[in-house]
Amino acid sequence: MNAPAPEIAIEVEGLTKSFNGRVVVRDLSMRVKRGEIYGFLGPNGSGKTTTIRMLCGLLTPDAGRGTCLGFDIRTEADKIKRRVGYMTQRFSLYQDLSVRENLEFVARLYGVADPVGAARAMVERLGLKGREEQLAGSLSGGWKQRLALGACTLPEPQLLLLDEPTAGVDPKARREFWNEIHALAGQGLTVLVSTHYMDEAERCHEIAYIAYGQLLTVGSVPEVIAGAHLVTYTVSGDDLGRIATELEACEGVDMVAPFGASLHVSGRDRDKLEAAMTPLRENRSLRIEPSEASLEDVFIDLMSRSRDNFQ
Ligand SMILES: Nc1ncnc2c1ncn2[C@@H]1O[C@H](COP(=O)(O)OP(=O)(O)OP(=O)(O)O)[C@@H](O)[C@H]1O
Ligand SMILES: [Mg+2]
């Protein structure tokens, strides 16, 4: 029987998982559309990897249900695994095999029809021609990750789960990696990718932010920013260190963050924030301008609020 082809790639409800009596993913529901690039963000230890592993059937949730590519995550894990490319958080290829050997090995493991040809085509696609015989372990960080991406797309999966694929990779290599993600999505692949980088979040169709095991917000980047209802000012001028300390103590100021030669000041209550800013307006050496909250402002705000709720 063929796999069903719903327009939804992932749909899960109420996923919960505990380790040693501690809840690390709590009542998590999410929906990922086919062909979409879905970004998964959240602080260290917030439950991203645990969620990804539940989505592809590697880990069974304690509670909750759902489907991935139309298959039940509890009872049809083997069918899911055959159709999903999972790039783990740590480099998972053989460091002491060459680029070609790694790709051929993966192709054989997944029963790809012509493993040698498929590996050769992938080398070309990755731009690794001329480096086929180089040991994977001797590649730069950026090339390693591209190779790992290539390896997990070799079996022609319908869904890619990429767990922090670009951690520690330089900006140019990250950009190329993301160009490749977009090219794959353009061919119809669904991509769920976890990241700590804001510029990468902005390259996703939709993002979700998770903290303390709970999904706090979902939507496109503009929707997430608008949904946070943060009022933000940029303050530039002299003596910003002292001003930051003063502002931090004011009611209505939820966040102060230095950015180069200016401060980002934000709060959720417009009137209170305005009141906190009023004394600063008398200081002629300062420039105070309304600005839009950045994605980073929004995430830090969400995280501190969820910590308050948690305690
Ligand atoms: N197999 C396990 N046994 C016990 N605890 C675990 C296990 N796997 C994860 N945890 C714990 O669950 C919590 C969530 O971990 P998880 O790896 O899902 O977070 P993460 O969001 O992926 O973090 P990071 O950004 O650092 O990769 C952490 O506190 C972690 O220590
Ligand atoms: Mg992780």
How far apart (Å, rounded) are the C-alpha atoms in residues 102 and 292? Answer: 46
| Mutation probe of ligand 1 site: the residue of 28, 46, 162, 310 with most atoms within 8 A of C-beta | 46
Indicate whether residue 49 lines ligand 1 (CB < 6 A): yes
The whole model's pTM is what? 0.91
Q: Do 104 and 245 sit in the same domain of this protein?
A: no
Q: Do 195 and 220 sit in the same domain of this protein?
A: yes
Indicate whether residue 47 lines ligand 1 (CB < 6 A): yes
Boundary residue ending a domain (195, 224, 253): 224
Q: Do 161 and 239 sit in the same domain of this protein?
A: no
Q: Do 245 and 124 sit in the same domain of this protein?
A: no
- pLDDT in the model for residue 309: 64
* Residue 301, in any domain of the structure: no
Q: Do 57 and 151 sit in the same domain of this protein?
A: yes
Taking Cα atoms as reference points, which of 120, 122, 189, 121 lies closest to residue 158? 189
pLDDT in tens, 128-177: 999 999 999 999 999 999 999 999 999 999 999 999 999 989 999 999 99
pLDDT in tens, 203-252: 999 999 999 999 999 999 999 999 999 999 999 998 999 999 999 999 99
From residue 136, how far is each of 99, 142, 155 by CA, in Å? 5, 12, 19
The amino acid present at 263, given as its one-letter code, is L
Ligand 2 centroid from CA 163, angstroms: 7
Residue for token pair 């790039």: 87
Quote the number of domains for the chain.
2
* Residue 127, in any domain of the structure: yes
Q: Do 60 and 102 sit in the same domain of this protein?
A: yes
Contact at 8 Å (CB) between 56 and 192? no
Range of the domain at 147: 8-224
- Dihedral sign from CA coordinates of 98, 100, 104, 106: positive
Q: Which ligand is nearest to the CA of 44?
A: 1
